[in-house]
Amino acid sequence: MGILASTYFIWTLSQNTVYNDAIREKNQLESDVLSENVQVTNTTYVVNGNDNINVSTNINNIGSLSVQFTTLWAYASNATYANYHITNLSNVNVQGGANLFLSVNVTVGGLCPGSAYSFASWLITGRGNVVPLQKATSSYTNIVMSNTTQGIGSLMMNFQNFTYYIVNGSNFLSGYPNGNSGYLVNSNGNPIAFRVIITNLDQNQRNITLTAPSVLFSIFPTTPQQVRGSYWYVVNVDKTTGKIFGTYTDVTLVYNTATELYFASAQPGTFYSAATCFTGTAPVNLALIGQIGDAPFGQNIPFVATKIIS
């Protein structure tokens, strides 16, 4: 009887431990679910062709936990039509405090280009939270036009992802691809390069090609009577290694696709040397030159200010 009682007592303790562990795991999961804190802005819906819609949005994870998005629901409707589709997402993760531009093509049967629809969509996280994206009721043309006002023209910049790099002696971008925030630059006397993310939202859905004179420039007030300018011409970068190529090849901005642009050169079309710069607080501008379809194109984006420390 004593052995039986002891065995039962030990079994009870083990079951109680299992139960307590399960409760702790459940409480931790509930805490993590409640701790997910994501803001979604600037959502666009573009009908690319029959049965196809592109959903793009900016995701800002303002919480401390990494968030994984596993599913996107997209719904479209008008007076005579309604349909939806569920798309599984792969490797869509946003670290705590980080931002992500998400662009997903979704198949929704019955969509036709040029027609007006009401759109809604939702992101589902790996912990089960539902994040609603902005609703929109319009034709694709009006949606595009409303978003280009962020950049005043056909090109829209992602203001949250303005990045700088130190250019080392072998013409590599140190810290590539992540880099550092371009709003405060600590150059330590080294040449620097900038990265911006641009999306082509031309209302006629034309591709835009950027040529060598495209430049990022700034003006530094050195004395009350004198200002000095610094400039960085557009370059091509090896997307695997972060090495700046010695010559520039025109970059094509495909309609409704976010594209990374790099600015580093002291002169257009070549990269014999990295641009040098002054220090202090300065406004920064993008002067983008090229072709839109078969026509000449030019757009200036007055977008950010930066402080450069030597």
Query: Cα–Cα distance between 196 and 185 in angstroms, integer?
Result: 15
**pLDDT confidence bin for 143, thresholds 50/70/90:** very low
> What's 155-309's CATH class?
mainly beta
Q: Would you list the domain boundaries of the chain?
A: 39-148, 155-309
Tokens 């307590």 belong to 20
Check residue 3 and give its pLDDT: 62
* Residue 35: its H or E element: helix 2-35
Q: What number of helices (H) and strands (E) belong to the chain? A: 2, 21
Check residue 290 and give its pLDDT: 96
Query: What is the tens place of the pLDDT at every residue in 121-141?
Result: 999 888 888 888 876 554 444
Query: What is the tens place of the pLDDT at every residue in 249-297?
Result: 999 998 878 899 999 999 999 998 877 778 888 888 999 999 998 899 9
Average pLDDT, the chain: 82
Please compute the mean of the pLDDT values over residues 229-243 and round it to a whole number: 93
CATH assignment of 39-148, among 1.10.3720.10, 2.60.40.10, 2.40.50.100, 3.40.50.360: 2.60.40.10
Tokens 């990022």 belong to 216
Q: CATH topology of 39-148 equal to that of 155-309?
A: yes
What is the 8-class DSSP label of residue 276?
Answer: P
pTM, full prediction: 0.56
> Which tokens go with 69?
């998005």
Check residue 69 and give its pLDDT: 92
Rg (CA), the chain: 25
